[in-house]
Amino acid sequence: MALSKLFNEHISLIIESALEDFNAEHIQGLLFASTGAQIDGSWRNAIGDEAEKVVQKLLIKEAIDLSKLTAFLLRENNSGVEKFKNAKKQLERLREFKGFTLSNKKSVLFSSEPDVSLINTDGSTIAVIEIKGGTDPAGALERYGAAKKSFEEALRHNSEVITIFVASCITPEVEHRISEDKTIKRYYNLTSILTHKSMRKEFLRYIFEELLKC
């Protein structure tokens, strides 16, 4: 019974955190997700990609709830801007956007390294967020190392930038290293953000109230 509840909790989390287009075909695909080592690499990449999309979606929804989101920045057109009009329809097209702007003229950008950047009105970077969705404890140190490398690069450009590490798996060893790592200002457990309302509120409050000053 305990194993069944745990399995149900994680499957429900996947479905609830997925983008709006999760359908019966995806559910069918879950049945075959663990068959064959040949899909292991692509599956791991997909986990990382979806983790980024989940956090992006959380940020967008919070900006909408605060009535602060003014427009989306288009990926295909570097200078393209699409005004915020319909939350549901535009969220379904999340992959078309490279970020969004706020009513206080600050913006949030989505990229690869770092995964998320918070940009001030003068174009300077307020904070960067690295998101690691892998849940394998054996790879936790590797994911931490990759995030650290990205943070070091950001700090080279701006020593005042705030660095935020968000990971689904933070082992005791990784937590110990983070506690002694001056390149990481804050860290959050992604699973806790998604499953615990209080942690999600704290994460979003820090981003929007303390950093973006919304």
Q: How confident is the model at residue 37 (pLDDT cuts 50, 70, 90)?
A: very low
For residues 109 and 75, the model is more confident at 109
| For the chain, domain boundaries | 48-211
- Using H for helix, E for strand and C for coil, what is the string for the chain? CHHHHHHHHHHHHHHHHCCCCCCHHHHHHHCCCCCCHHHHHHHHHHHHHHHHHHHHHHHHHHHHHCCCEEEEEECCCCCCEEECCCHHHHHCCHHHEEEEEECCCCEEEECCCCCEEEECCCCCEEEEEEEECCCCHHHHHHHHHHHHHHHHHHHHHCCCCEEEEEECCCCHHHHHHHHCCCCCCEEEEHHHHHHCHHHHHHHHHHHHHHHCCC
Q: Produce one character per residue of 174-187: b if its CB has 16 or more CB atoms within 10 Å, e if not.
A: beebbeebeebeeb
pLDDT tens across 78-98, in order?
A: 778 999 998 888 988 888 999
Residue 151's CB: how many other CB atoms inside 10 A?
A: 25
pLDDT tens across 95-135, in order?
A: 899 999 999 999 999 998 899 999 999 999 999 999 998 88
Regarding the domain delimited by 48-211, which CATH topology (the fold level of the hierarchy) does it fall under?
Restriction Endonuclease (3.40.91)
Record the pTM.
0.79
pLDDT for the residue 209? 97
Query: Helix crossing, 172-179 with 140-157: angle to 10°?
Result: 20
pLDDT for the residue 72? 96
Spatial contact of 164 and 155, defined as CB atoms under 8 Å apart: no
Burial of 91 (0-12, 13-18, 19+ CB in 10 A): middle
CA–CA dist 99, 77 (Å, integer): 12
How are strands ordered across the β-sheet holding 81-83? 81-83, 69-74, 97-102, 107-110, 116-119, 125-132, 162-167, 186-189
- How many residues are given for the chain? 214
pLDDT for the residue 29? 66
pLDDT for the residue 38? 46
pLDDT surpasses 60 at 136: yes
Q: How confident is the model at residue 167 (pLDDT cuts 50, 70, 90)?
A: very high
CA–CA dist 212, 95 (Å, integer): 23
pLDDT tens across 178-187, in order?
A: 999 999 999 9
pLDDT surpasses 60 at 35: no
Average pLDDT over residues 11-23: 65
